[in-house]
Amino acid sequence: MTRNRLIGALIVGVAILGMAWTFGYAGLGGPPREAMPKESAAVEAPAGAVAVTLDSVALRPVQRTIETVGTLHPFEQVIECAKVEGRVRRILHDVGDRIKPGDLLLEVDPTDFELSVRQAQRALEVEQAKLGLSEAPTGEFDVSQLPIVVEAGVKASRAKERLDRVRALVERNALTKEELGNATSDFRSLEAEHQNQILMAKSGLATVQMKQEALAIVTQQLRDSRIVAPRPSTSDPRVVGDMTYAIISRSAAEGSFVRIGTEVFKLVIDRVLKLKAPVPDRYVAEVKEGQKVTVKTAAYDKAFEGTVTRINPSVDLTTRTFEVEIQVPNPEGILKSGSFAKAAIVTRMDAETQTVPLDAVVRFAGITKIFLSDGDHAREVQVTSGTTTPQWIEIVSPKLPAGAQVVTSGQTLLSEGQPIFLRRATEKTTRTASEVRREPAAE
């Protein structure tokens, strides 16, 4: 019996110590138990009311842009064609190569043209020899300096001097008039010969000049047998600074025969590209030369900067658009001509535009609307939206009241005039439905 009482006393003691540890005991200096958090007071909602969260309508500056799409074109495109007929001897460059103005692209066999040059040179030398010239005349040439003309002129001058002496002697009756007639005839004959030599010299000079032109033609043909990259006349510093061409097409092969006008190479200047894009005619007054443009392509995530350089002065009657040309610097050559591109032309800055959180907008059946807080009730407002960002959206119309509160959660359950009450946060922040929707889905 004593043993049973001892066991019972031990059990009671253990129970008392457990209760003291659980609820704390100040008398022994032990720490008191932490106070339990108080439950938040329940909000008494009106019948049929919807719990919502509110946010203010904000005024923000908005940069206006005009969105358009178009195609990137090279700054210039050059088609190199054969100027002479012949067989291609060698090709020095191919598609994808970058070349500078003056670089040799293709050479046609020059043998025939070299022979033609030598033949024309000999023909010119023959005509020069006929006139007594060692070099081809240049510029204005005085034929009276030619030997045959000088000789004829000397003979005519001597005949004139003899005629003058005979005339003087006839006047003194020292010679007969018959001798005067003979002297006069000799003078006239030699004078005519002098004039004839002048005419023949002019004809010979014209022949020399014709031979010079023939030599120049075959010489040019010899030069044209070498097709080189041209030098553009543009003065754009972005193009001239590092002037290169890119070869995008080659149509000839070594050993093939080309005729005059045959396309052999196609070259482009692509360090600066031109984006040609249509713009609706309602923006005629807003688009100006010199405006900055943001250009994007499907190939790259980053945007490229461009500038409006040309505006077509006419509007297309079919599409009611006008074409805008935008220059896009491409110093590294990463953009490709022919690519599809989207452009945003920066026009004006609106200092104050009314915006609401993106979650405040409700779209249903083609209607865009928001709900404003009108005391304890919701007021439905159909709106026209504008610029949109991941955080907010512009309300273009109507004009919202100053200090208006817009519903940002619970609006999908609302209708015009329905009672609302403000959802209150507990000690742990209450998340709105929009915040829950933005969380990534669990894998």
Kindly state the helix (H) or strand (E) to which residue 98 belongs, with its residue range: strand 98-99
User: Is 237 found in the same domain as 154?
Assistant: no
Confidence (pLDDT) at 49: 83
Domain boundary among 210, 240, 267: 267
User: Is 286 found in the same domain as 139?
Assistant: no
Confidence (pLDDT) at 274: 94
Residue 418 buriedness (CB in 10 A; 0-12 / 13-18 / 19+): middle
User: Is 330 found in the same domain as 379?
Assistant: no
Neighbours of 250 (CB within 10 A): 19
Say how many CA atoms lie within 13 Å of 204 toward its Cβ.
Answer: 24
- Cα–Cα nearest to 84, from 117, 60, 49: 117
Confidence (pLDDT) at 345: 94
User: Is 205 found in the same domain as 148?
Assistant: yes
Domain boundary among 316, 350, 384: 350
SS (H, E, C) 305-366: EEEEEEECCCCCCCCCEEEEEEEEECCCCCCCCCCEEEEEEEEEEEEEEEEEEHHHCEEECC
Residue 443 lies in a domain: no
Query: Residue 331 maps to which CATH number?
Result: 2.40.30.170
User: Is 185 found in the same domain as 118?
Assistant: yes
Confidence (pLDDT) at 173: 82
Q: Distance (Å, rounded) from C-alpha 327 to C-alpha 274?
A: 5
Total domains, the chain:
4
User: Is 211 found in the same domain as 309?
Assistant: no
Residue 15 lies in a domain: no
Residue 16 lies in a domain: no
Q: Which two tokens stand for residue 171?
A: 């006047």
Residue 146 lies in a domain: yes
Query: Residue 390 maps to which CATH number?
Result: 2.40.420.20
User: Is 216 found in the same domain as 198?
Assistant: yes
Confidence (pLDDT) at 145: 78
Residue 41 lies in a domain: no
* Domain boundaries, position 257: 79-103+231-267
Neighbours of 290 (CB within 10 A): 7
Say how many CA atoms lie within 13 Å of 217 toward its Cβ.
Answer: 10
User: Is 311 found in the same domain as 165?
Assistant: no
User: Is 291 found in the same domain as 191?
Assistant: no
Question: pLDDT tens digit string along 386-406?
Answer: 888 888 888 888 888 878 889
SS (H, E, C) 238-275: HHHCCCCEEEEEECCCCCCEECCCCEEEEEEEEEEEEE
Q: Which two tokens stand for residue 79?
A: 């088609």
Confidence (pLDDT) at 142: 75
Q: Distance (Å, rounded) from C-alpha 300 to C-alpha 15?
A: 74
Residue 36 lies in a domain: no
Question: Cβ(285)–Cβ(305) under 8 Å?
Answer: no
- Non-local CB neighbours of 277 within 8 Å, separated by 6+ positions: 68, 69, 70, 71, 323, 324, 326, 341, 343
User: Is 120 found in the same domain as 218?
Assistant: yes
User: Is 312 found in the same domain as 412?
Assistant: no
- Tell me the C-alpha to C-alpha distance, in Å, between residue 379 and each of 257, 291, 354, 406: 82, 42, 18, 9
Confidence (pLDDT) at 440: 40
Query: What is the DSSP pairing of strand 86-91 with strand 104-108?
Result: antiparallel
3-class SS of residue 131:
helix
Domain boundary among 190, 224, 258: 224
Residue 25 lies in a domain: no
Kindly state the helix (H) or strand (E) to which residue 165 belongs, with its residue range: helix 147-171
Residue 30 lies in a domain: no
Kindly state the helix (H) or strand (E) to which residue 203 belongs, with its residue range: helix 177-224
User: Is 199 found in the same domain as 125?
Assistant: yes
Ranges in the chain, pLDDT < 70: 1-47, 139, 234-242, 424-443
Confidence (pLDDT) at 246: 93
Query: Residue 250 maps to which CATH number?
Result: 2.40.50
